[in-house]
Amino acid sequence: MNDQAMPKSLVRSASEGERRWFYGGGLHIWKATATETNGAFLLFEDRMDFGKVTPLHTHPDSDETMVVLEGEIRMHLDGDEHVVGAGGIASAPRGVPHAFMVSGADGARLLCLHTPGCCQAFYWDASEPVADGDDRALADGPLDMSRVMESAKCNGGIEILGPPPFTMPAR
């Protein structure tokens, strides 16, 4: 007999999903958690303002795929830089160094998929729930990179390699 729980079907509308302020900048809207997918994946929408940047990092145990829904990002992937606009994707296999910066003047909106969903503890600890009635703009959300770094050390799922490999673009 198989002790593994059977995954349940999951349907969410465009407006559904837990909203969390990410301490690295931006708003996450969790569409499917690792718990809900029996560990298979974690999927969240990420809304960010122009200039949001990640440190150079890897995900040792998961692949990360980003689908750009709106805007544009500059993606540093394994030593090469790429511009990814709306409708494009960037995929960083586990262990491949990568970073991105929002280069679209109006920000960017991405779908971020981690397979498997083992990075969830990092994102959970490096974010806070958006309270009911919280209507702050993205730029007014919390920003605490020390919390992101601490969460990476404590929760795994991500290994910070160094500072962002980008020069800030002019608006």
pLDDT in tens, 137-166: 998 999 999 999 999 998 888 999 999 888
Q: In total, how many domains does the chain have?
A: 1
Mean pLDDT value across the chain: 92
Q: Summarize pLDDT for 1-59 with one digit per residue, the tens.
A: 455 666 689 999 988 999 999 999 999 999 999 999 999 999 999 999 999 999 999 99
Report the C-alpha gap between 107 and 120 in whole angstroms.
Answer: 24
Which structural domain, as residue segments, surrounds residue 39? 26-129+139-160
77-89 per-position pLDDT tens digit: 988 999 999 999 9
CATH of the domain at 76: 2.60.120.10
**63-115: pLDDT as tens digits:** 999 999 999 999 999 889 999 999 999 999 999 999 999 999 999 999 999 99
- Threshold 0.75, pTM exceeds: yes
Whether residue 93 is contained in a domain is answered as yes
Looking at the domain assignment, is residue 1 inside a domain?
Answer: no
Contact 56/97 with Cβ under 8 angstroms?
Answer: yes
Whether 74 maps to a domain, the answer reads: yes
